Amino acid sequence: MIGYYTRKSEWRREHRKGGRPTGTGALSQLTVEEKLTRRRLVRRRAELLRKITKEEDKELLLKLARKLKDVEGQMDIPVAEKLARRHPEAIKQLRRKDQIIRSYSIA
């Protein structure tokens, strides 16, 4: 029974269907150091977005927006916003906060 399960799981691993083939895509061309840097920037960006959704003070919102702009400027390959999984309520909050930030213009 154990041998059968092991063979079946190995076969499944080798013949898995779907997904992007290994070695393709924009991120596969990055070195290990670049991938690590990108991962840290993406996590920092996500943290800033969470803080922006919770923040109500306009001055702090502007500071967080500037930091977010800096982090996004450091990223060679931008994050695909359409692929981000977010709760509809969080999307509404981000849009509302974006309008507030744009009204104060963070040039």
**Boundaries of every domain in the chain:** 29-104
Give the pTM: 0.71
Cβ atoms of 43 and 31 within 8 Å: the answer is no
Backbone phi, psi, residue 72, to 5°: -65, -30
State the pLDDT at residue 28. Answer: 82
Q: What is the pLDDT of residues 19-35, one digit of tens each?
A: 677 777 778 888 889 98
Q: How confident is the model at residue 4 (pLDDT cuts 50, 70, 90)?
A: low
Task: Give me 61's structure tokens.
Answer: 């919102």
- pLDDT classification of 12: cutoffs 50, 70, 90: confident
In tens, the pLDDT along 48-70 reads 999 999 988 989 999 999 999 99
